[in-house]
Amino acid sequence: MKILVTGGAGYIGSHMTRMLASRGYEPIVLDTLEFGHREALPPAVPLVVGNVGDSFLVESIFREHTIEGVMHFAGYLQVEESVRFPIKYMKNNVLAPVVLLEAMKQAKVSRIIFSSTAAVYGNPETVPIPESHRKEPVSPYGLSKWAFEELLSVYDRSFGLKSICLRYFNAAGASLDGSHGEVHVPETHVIPLACGGALGTRDGFAIYGTDYKTPDGTALRDFIHIEDLCEAHILALEALRSGHKSDVFNVGTGTGVSVREVVNTVKKASGKDFRVKETGRRSGDPAILVSDPSRLMDEFGWKPKHSDIETIVGSALKWHTSHPKGYI
């Protein structure tokens, strides 16, 4: 079964590509390499360098390969940047992948798994957050993801294109053997930033916001290990193959971990008491994002196996220790 993985050379996409290949699927990766890394992919996996908004390129992929499903990870993901450049995010995260949907329709490919986000909820009124929670994103990034979810609903009603949107909370960690991990330039994710502080590749660590209405004043997040996240995608794909209707699921643990707890876990795991600077909140950051993942667990039998914060941090530290410059 050939699966087109857009953004497949990025952090989540490359882990997904590796898991697909290990499970007997044939992934084909489309990535601009703007943020992805060719070295993150298994050598045998075909890589097409380009953008999902390039109609000629995308249509040629569907002509040359018998694609049976799509996993769509390609997109910009920096919340703070989206506040400064909202149109950039709308063009890249909403308008460009319309080309992908049109190519799927033309090629009669009717299954897509979409990499969505908890940012669609905005500041939650109910915690843990169910999928039915109102959608009121506080950042253009979150708005762009919600807009594409709504567009997928239109394609289902109008053209029978079936989709499962997975709303991630905080994807984190590295492969358990430390061979494959997270690299972003610039890096904005809390665990790799804290690991950099511990390993001396960064000048300490900054906590943005210590006055939230949370137990220790820092933001609460629901961290999901990358391998547990990818497992959810496999189950979602198999569900669509078995005739599951278009749907939306949270992917998280249901447990909140504060930024300060992350810092303390990294300090303990590394044995390094690195410098921590406390500063003001960042625009677009909700105080609490914790999932209710019960629907995913009940319908697909999914259960996180590696998503306690100690395992996540341990795997990340192993990766960053052995690859201080990423894939270079």
For residue 240, which of 82, 113, 87, 142 has the smallest C-alpha distance?
113
Decide: 9 and 38 in contact? Cβ < 8 Å: yes
- List the structure tokens of 175: 């492969």
Q: What is the rounded average pLDDT for all residues in the chain?
A: 96
How far the first Cα of the chain sits from its last, in Å, is 32
Q: Residue 177: its pLDDT value, please?
A: 87
Of 89-98, 117-126, 225-234, 263-272, the one with minimum mean pLDDT is 117-126
pLDDT classification of 325: cutoffs 50, 70, 90: confident
Cis peptide before 128 (omega within 30 of 0): yes
**In angstroms, rounded to a whole number, what is the distance separating the alpha carbons of residues 134 and 126?**
10
pLDDT (tens digit per residue) in 181-209: 998 888 889 999 999 999 999 999 999 99
Please report, for residues 3, 13, 101, 243, the alpha-carbon distance to residue 226 in angstroms, rounded to integers and kept in the order given: 19, 10, 26, 26
pLDDT (tens digit per residue) in 277-292: 999 998 767 788 899 9
Please give the residue that has the higher pLDDT: either 259 or 124: 259
Active site residues: 141
Q: How long, in residues, is the chain?
A: 328
pLDDT classification of 328: cutoffs 50, 70, 90: low
Q: Residue 286: its pLDDT value, please?
A: 79
Model pTM score:
0.95
Strand partners, 291: 129
Average pLDDT over residues 240-257: 97
Q: Residue 282: its pLDDT value, please?
A: 81
Average pLDDT over residues 52-66: 98
Query: In the chain, pLDDT over 70 holds for what percent of residues?
Result: 99
How many other β-carbons are positioned within 10 Å of the β-carbon of residue 298?
Answer: 9
CATH H-level superfamily of 174-221+254-322: UDP-galactose 4-epimerase, domain 1 (3.90.25.10)
Tokens 């993801």, residue? Answer: 145
Q: Residue 284: its pLDDT value, please?
A: 65
Domain boundaries, the chain: 2-171+223-251, 174-221+254-322
Decide: 240 and 69 in contact? Cβ < 8 Å: yes
The CATH class that applies to domain 2-171+223-251 reads alpha beta
**In angstroms, rounded to a whole number, what is the distance separating the alpha carbons of residues 278 and 160?**
50
pLDDT (tens digit per residue) in 139-191: 999 999 999 999 999 999 999 999 999 999 999 999 998 889 998 888 889 99
**In angstroms, rounded to a whole number, what is the distance separating the alpha carbons of residues 76 and 35?**
9
| pLDDT of 323 higher than 70 | yes
